[in-house]
Structure formats: structure tokens, C-alpha cells
Amino acid sequence: MPMMKSPAGDMEISVAGMTVEKNQIVAIGKFGAWDSKIYLTVEDIVPIIPMMLQWKIIHFICKLPFLYIKSRVCKKANS
């Protein structure tokens, strides 16, 4: 489960789904103990695109299938 770390403390975040409402992407999940919806407008998303096009991010996405398989194998070995 993703973890948000901040000076106010650490809190788990879970994303249960994503949808579109009007011209916004909505991430539905939990923020700690609270149900939450995060609304991303066009103005929010456009600056994120260049951040996602960094070589480190692209490289990580390419490695993702192998990292997933490795995590599943390690989890199975520890059970």
C-alpha cells in the first residue's frame, strides 16, 4: 500500500479505482481511515506529463513487469 510521508506524520493511501467526471480524472480510495476522492483537472494533469517523461520514470516503467514477477516470487518463497 502506498505511504505518504510528511512532517505531519505517515499515512497509508489506497486507490480503489479511477474514473472520469466531466473534464476531470477522479481517483477513488482511502487516505488513512477516510474515504477520499482526488480530482485532477486538465490544469493539474498537463504539468505532470513532463514529469512522467523523465528517463528515470520511463526506465522504471520498463522494468515494472520484472519487478512485479520478482516481488511475487519472493512473496511466495516467504510463505
Residue 77, pLDDT score: 80
Question: Residues 54, 68: one domain?
Answer: yes
CA distance 25 to 43: 11
Question: Residues 52, 74: one domain?
Answer: yes
Give every residue of the chain whose pLDDT is below 50, as ranges.
none
Residue 14, pLDDT score: 92
Residue 54, pLDDT score: 95
Question: Residues 36, 47: one domain?
Answer: no
Question: Residues 62, 29: one domain?
Answer: no
* Three-state secondary structure call for residue 23: coil
List the beta strands (DSSP E) in the chain.
3-6, 9-21, 24-31, 34-40
Structural domain count of the chain: 2
* Structural domain that includes position 10: 1-40
Q: Please give the grid coordinates belonging to residue 34.
A: 477516510
Question: Residues 2, 36: one domain?
Answer: yes
CA distance 33 to 10: 12
